[in-house]
Chains A and B, each alone.
Chain A
Amino acid sequence: MATAIFIVLSVISIGAVLGMMITKNRAYSALFLVLSFSSLGGLFGLLKAPFVAVAQIIVYAGAIMVMFLFASLTVGEKKEISGSARRRIKIFSVILSVILFLEIAAVVFRIVNKISPFDFQVSARDMGALIINRYLYAFELTSVLIVVAVVAALALSLEQKS
């Protein structure tokens, strides 16, 4: 059962990223990404981390992708540019990515045999205790970071009026 869920979620996730690459419309790209990140949240759940799965769906599929949709609607449609130079860049970048794929795959397939299966549940209560105890400093820093980010975004968008 878990294997079937894993296969379905992986196929949806990878297929949605492929759809994001192929489609020309930015809004469709954002929606494909929502699908991909939601199924990725399911994969996190399969890894016995339910809190991270829910956070993934709420923060990524909910908040971040809504911002992307808003930005893509604000920016509007793009004009098509085509040329032989662009095609050359595309081919070159795909070759580079394939090389990167081979390198990472070599590393992954070297370590996969050493990974043992696990039976372990990450409960929200244990995670909360860990955040409050050991990672309190990092947690507070993250909140400061988010405040700084919001203030910076406001400053960037207000700059034009002054």
Chain B
Amino acid sequence: MISQSAFMVVALILFILGTISFFVKKDLLCQFMSIEVMLNAGNLALLSLVSAAGKLEAAVIVLFVILVAAAEAVIGLSLILLAHKKRKTIESDEFSQLKG
């Protein structure tokens, strides 16, 4: 039996890698992918922590998080495509002002 702390450590590493990737990468698409990585690390931490207590709720909450992430991905990607259509770039450094 693997201890829950091992899962927590994996979730921690994934979250930090997502954070570093979010700061280091300079285009919106890769930053969005990093956000998804962080979201998944949170899911893993939640599932490993709450499952240890024998609660079923964690799985349901993780399911809702996955569904909300799907909705978020739809909106985010359409916004990125719209930004690309307007500015011809998705480098986040280029978006220094909101004026279209």
Contact = CB atoms under 8 A, between A and B. Distances in A.
Interface residues of A, number: 80
Contacts of B37: 17, 20, 33, 36
B6 interface: yes
B21 A157 contact: no
Contacts of B10: 10, 13-14, 43
B82 A156 contact: yes
Main secondary structure of the interface of B (DSSP, over half): helix
Given A17-B17, A55-B63, A46 B84 contact: no
Interface string B15-53: 111111101111101101100110010011001110111
Contacts of B95: none
Nearest to B73: A64
Query: Size range of the interface on B?
Result: 35 or more
Interface string A75-98: 100100100001001100110110
Contact of B52 (A36, A75, A89, A116): A116
11 contacts: A17-B18, A20-B21, A40-B40, A49-B62, A64-B73, A68-B77, A71-B80, A74-B84, A81-B91, A127-B59, A142-B67
Interface of A: 2-3, 6, 10, 13-14, 17-18, 20-21, 26, 29-30, 33, 36-37, 40, 43-44, 46-49, 51-52, 55-56, 59-60, 63-64, 67-68, 71-72, 74-75, 78, 81, 86, 89-90, 93-94, 96-97, 100-101, 104-105, 108, 111-113, 115-120, 122, 126-127, 130-131, 135, 138-139, 142, 145-146, 148-150, 152-153, 156-157, 159-160
